[in-house]
Structure 1
């Protein structure tokens, strides 16, 4: 159940009459967003039969990708191989992956489905990394055959790779010559969101380096396997301090130096430092790629001197700021004296926000039926979703201009996870997702491109076993 928030204005804004205007660097993002909402209303992207849709700011995505590349270019020695691999789980949509590939990014995948999406988007195997704590024999064989980089998670997986190489009659990766690494957990501690903290003492990910005998085992594992050439760490996520993330990278770098010294040569040639850069959900400020890269250079200077190739795996920070979920207000009512706006965007889209609102807050913007910023004084009200349970609230006791039936609400910062990690409660359909970019020749100055169509009831029925309708009634007990 969402906790009660005190009515307050969003951060990073200033009052101008009846409107809340962004300040400073926020203006470009907010201006594009306002134009897109109005254009979506004018061009009929929302209506009585299409009451919810996702919008993705293509300009914002390109800007974030460019900022990431620039941030690491500025701290890395010339000639250093650097792969920025987008974490596909953050937006498992082929056109999004394709857009990021066009911006020079590869892919980090963690399932057969994500690998299939990456391949459908045209991302080459040489720019793809497979991470998962539960890879099957089949997944490993496919990745090795394609030449995809693989990060093993644990000793049993390394043994499985040993067996695969032995069965192939080769002591090293075959096929496309996949680079192979080992994920380690530096056990540096967690952030403010326990479920997102990947480097705690008992995290399920990687080899726990501070457990008794673990570090020595890792060194020996590399010395025994000439094909093992990478170390992987992912210490960050939402709620983690940048300093703690940098500490995890430093400890992994020091382990790489220890292994290379023990081998007598550069056995480890690449460090995969993961992603997990936190997003500020209170403003339109861009992701802090430059600040993080500078912090890493100060904390781990040897990481950038050209001796190691680098891989990053950012996801949320690349896309969150550029997305919004736009939903029509179907009804309004009051309960206990508090106004409630019932919309079509709730737990089926904003699952984490509804169930853990303190950790996953979202800003909400109010627009009228024509997509114009809603005027009027702020009134404390709830913004509810369509799911059939009482806690389906995306905002509780939130100060907004009083919403009316037919108005539009925008859930900001939803470009990552909210579009593709659908929660099929009540068999609610997945909404359409549209990308947008400026185009002065069109109404509202915005051109939209369909990323994914709205799911139909027929498709829901098909996914729910329509072809097997008689499967259970045909079973007979003995």
Structure 2
């Protein structure tokens, strides 16, 4: 995003502000699509990474499908123009109403996470007189070698079922009048930087696929999940080519369409968070740079101890000293970076926090009654607003109406709001 005038964007849209480079998203998507060009494949963007409708729509124009983990995300995908036959509904805890709506929406399939869920899907499909297309998420019990909060492929994680359970569930599905097993799925974790766990998991699940096909279970899709990492610091990255080759090697002899569900890989490096310095302070020798962004705007540093590069504008010629970049929230855990080097900063100076396109805005909250920031997309040098900055009235309107109903707000106090 070298050609983007961040100062102008910050001036126009105020800070904190998320800015996304759509060309970077296109490049990431096309690199992965090209890596699988030798086989039938479908890339289903994981909406949880960034669920802005404009981001989803942009990926849809490139041919992307959608991996969703709530009915809200299914609705977003449909609203953004993703064809129903490219939408997958995953997630451990689907409610009956979500399953019903997904079946009525006729999406590609539901990823099933447990025997009880499969039974609920059958019951709901029977009541609707529909056949539910499903895939079963198999937990290969392989260590993804990533942060424990985003590791999903071990038995100690809540996701999926073991191989023996999966076999029994596929046989149950095959014999059901209301379930059609069409795929097999695994996903071992996020921010993966080592190809070997992916290779091992793919081989293990491919062996299971062979045995299921031998049982006359007509699988069509081999869903390898997502998880390819990006560079926040000095990580060794998995190239799309190496990733695809590991999958293709495992699938030798299987004529299945490959589905992958990248999120972070597609949008992570596209985004920056702009924030202005409020002031500096010292507690003893400890230097703090207090900014107008906070942990409610970017949760990753607090939640995962994640590190994002922070860059200042126009002061590179000054000597830098160590500091913590912190926000206004009433928590000691409210920080955006720790022990980084920055030059002396003054009120109004602009900082750029990099690689926040994934799990940035999508994890933002109103903690401390803070308003979530605006979002801007840049394409071919043109910037456009894709999410308005929240207003105080937006976040209290329903509360205020409900409180008015019990007569606890008179006209005077309402005016003070």
Per the normalisation by structure 2, the TM-score is 0.90
2:273 aligns with 325
**Cα distance, 1:347–1:168 mapped onto 2, change above 3 Å:** closer
**Deviation of 1:236 (Å):** 2.8
Residues 380-409 of structure 1 deviation map (CA, whole Å, 9 limit, x = unaligned): 112111211233121122112222211111
Match of residue 114, structure 2, among 142, 154, 158:
154
1:222-371 matches, within 5 Å, as 222-225=173-176, 227-239=180-192, 241-263=194-216, 267-282=218-233, 288-298=239-249, 300-302=250-252, 307-357=255-305, 360-367=306-313
Gaps of 5+ in 2: 409-417
Q: Cα distance 1:87–1:216, how it changes in 2: closer, same or farther (>3 A)?
A: closer
CA distance in 1 between partners of 2:170 and 2:97 (Å): 28
Alpha-carbon deviation of 1:471?
Answer: 6.3
Could you tell me whether the CA contact under 8 Å between 1:329 and 1:341 is conserved in 2? yes
1:190 deviates by 4.3
**Hey, what's the Cα distance between the residues in 2 that align with 1:192 and 1:201?**
15
Looking at structure 2, the residues matched to 243 and 285 of structure 1 have their Cα atoms a distance apart, in angstroms, of 13
* 8 Å CA contact retained: 1:199, 1:235: yes
1:397 to 303, 314, 339: 339
Q: CA deviation at 1:56?
A: 0.3
Would you say 1:437 and 2:379 are equivalent positions? yes
Name the CA shift for 1:468/1:349 in 2 (closer, same or farther; >3 Å). Answer: same
Task: Give the equivalent residue in structure 1 for 2:403.
Answer: 469
In the TM superposition, what whole-angstrom CA distance separates every residue of 1:191-219 from its partner, at most 9, and x where no partner exists?
A: 2311111111222111122xxx5354245
**2:232/2:309 contact within 8 Å kept:** yes
Residue matched to 2:158: 204
Measured on the aligned residues, the alpha-carbon RMSD in Å equals 2.3
Tell whether the 8 Å contact from 1:98 to 1:123 is kept in structure 2 after alignment. Answer: yes
Unmatched segments (≥5 aa) in structure 1: 1-28, 174-178, 440-446
Distance 1:394 1:189 in 2: 29
Distance 2:238 2:53 in 1: 23
Partner Cα distance (1:164, 1:389) in 2: 45
1-structure distance, mates of 2:235, 2:269: 7
Aligned residue number for residue 25 of structure 1: none
Are 2:347 and 1:387 equivalent residues in the alignment?
A: no
Rounded to whole Å, the distance in 1 between the matches of 2:235 and 2:122 is 48
- Number of aligned residue pairs: give it: 405
What per-residue deviation string (whole Å, max 9, x for no partner) do you get for residues 38-88 of structure 1?
Answer: 4425xx235xxx331011011111111111111111xx33xx2x2111111
Residues 186 and 289 (structure 1), Cα distance of their counterparts in 2 relative to 1, 3 Å cut: same
Q: Higher relative contact order at CA 8 Å, sep ≥6: structure 1 or structure 2?
A: 1
The one of 358, 377, 382 equivalent to 1:416 is 358
Report the alpha carbon displacement of residue 162 of structure 1 after superposing the two structures with TM.
Answer: 2.1
Cα distance, 1:233–1:374 mapped onto 2, change above 3 Å: same
Cα pair distance change 1:435/1:215, threshold 3 Å = closer
Note the alpha carbon deviations across 1:256-301, whole angstroms, 9 max, x for none: 10011122xx611211111011222126998732221123234x14
